[in-house]
Amino acid sequence: MHTAALRNALAFVGALTIGALTVTGCGTTGEATVQTAPASPGTAADTSGPDAAAEPAQVARLTAAADVFDAPDGGVVRTLDAATGFGSQTVLLVTDTDRSGWLEVMLPGRPNEALGWIRSDAAEVREVALEVRIDLAARELSLLDAGTAVWTTPTAIGDPEHPTPTGSFYVTDKLDTGDPNGAYGPYALGLSARSDVLTEFAGGDGQIGIHGTNLPGSIGQAVSHGCLRIDNALVAELAALLPLGTPVTIS
């Protein structure tokens, strides 16, 4: 997204101001007292295990505004625009393709992990082999390709009063902050997840994101309002590699 559009749109849960850009989604608690060393770049992870050669995810990319139904040939429960509030093409993680002419999809926003049905002709379906997994107990984020871990890195997570939500989510937006040295680093990846605590904050709806930081000592700590912070070089790598719809599992 162009920086001008980002300034009018970007809103993750929390509150920090980057010049003219107000980002609502990844604020911090007690960061001035953090004494830990900066996070190191991601390290190669063990590539063995049962997840090797995992099936790619299927992602539906809307070609126009689409109605969401509670069941195939059921009632309309909501309508999704072809683009998100940030200007990204709307994508939905496909969870079931067994009904002819229909796709069951995971919906962005509240409630987390909500499912619905769209007509299959409303979207282009693509496969995504990459995925992201976040281990809150270990405070680590891992990038996987076809189920094989590529690298793992420390991540900041939500503080005790604003915990990072757990569950299955996906990338809905990739945003260039326009300020690589700012509080959110060079990029922020918006997720389908929403905070379980903050239903609105500074104009946003409590959306969770993955982003960089200008406080590397906070990485690996429980200090955010729910967002995940990683090394700036690695968030730039994620922004370059991950297509919209990439699955993100937080546990």
* Percent helix / strand / coil, the chain, rounded to 5: 10, 45, 45
SS3 state at 21: strand
Exactly one of 26, 162, 225, 227 is catalytic; name it. 227
DSSP bridge partners of 153:
141
On the 0-12 / 13-18 / 19+ scale of CB atoms within 10 A, 51 is middle
225 classed as catalytic: no
Rounded CA-CA distance 124/140 in Å is: 33
26 classed as catalytic: no
H-state helical runs in 50-204: none
Pull the structure tokens for residue 232: 């700036």
Dihedral sign from CA coordinates of 234, 232, 87, 66: positive
Pull the structure tokens for residue 63: 């070609």
On the 0-12 / 13-18 / 19+ scale of CB atoms within 10 A, 199 is exposed
Exactly one of 26, 162, 211, 225 is catalytic; name it. 211
Q: Which amino acid is at 188?
A: A
Kind of pairing between the strands at 157-158 and 247-250? unpaired
213 and 201 Cβ atoms separated by less than 8 Å? no
The catalytic residue positions are: 211, 227
